[in-house]
Amino acid sequence: MEKKFSIMRPMLGIAGIVLLIAGFFLVVAIGIGYLLHWLLPSIEVGAGMVAGLIALCVAMFIYWKFSTFMMEVSAMDEVIEQQIAEEEEKAVASAKPVIHNMIREFHSPRRNKRKRD
């Protein structure tokens, strides 16, 4: 018997993850709402929950933006390091051997003629 691929199981997994995330957000919002109501009794619990949910969403958005920015910066660093390494390889490949030139000048007949004069 062949097993038929069912799309329902992965979809239930995704829905479960979304519900867990939404539940986490709501629990934190309820906690912040009660905390605001406890600290400032003039704020109702419902308004505190909405404020807490908005504050949580803004904080998560800022964290997400900052983390993606840091990934982009590290990716740019890798590209820049690679370009520097390529430029150094080109410079080394095109460089003339300095030591050999110095030895050649030391043993050159022109230098010896200058000493004799």
Tell me the per-residue pLDDT of 86-95, one tens digit each, with 9 for 90 and over: 887 777 767 6
Contact between residue 43 and residue 23 where contact means Cβ atoms under 8 Å apart: no
Whole-Å CA distances, 8 to 15, 16, 40, 62, 67 = 10, 12, 47, 34, 33
Residue 86's pLDDT is what? 81
Measured CA to CA in angstroms, residue 96 lies from 6, 78, 90, 100 at distances of 67, 29, 12, 9
Measure the CA–CA gap between 38 and 44, rounded to whole angstroms: 9
What are the extents of the domains in the chain?
Answer: 8-116
Per-residue pLDDT band for 29 (boundaries 50, 70, 90) equals confident
- Choice between 44 and 1, residue whose per-residue pLDDT is larger: 44
pLDDT digits (tens, 9 = 90+) for 44-74: 888 888 888 888 888 888 888 887 877 777 7
Q: Does pLDDT of 115 surpass 80?
A: no
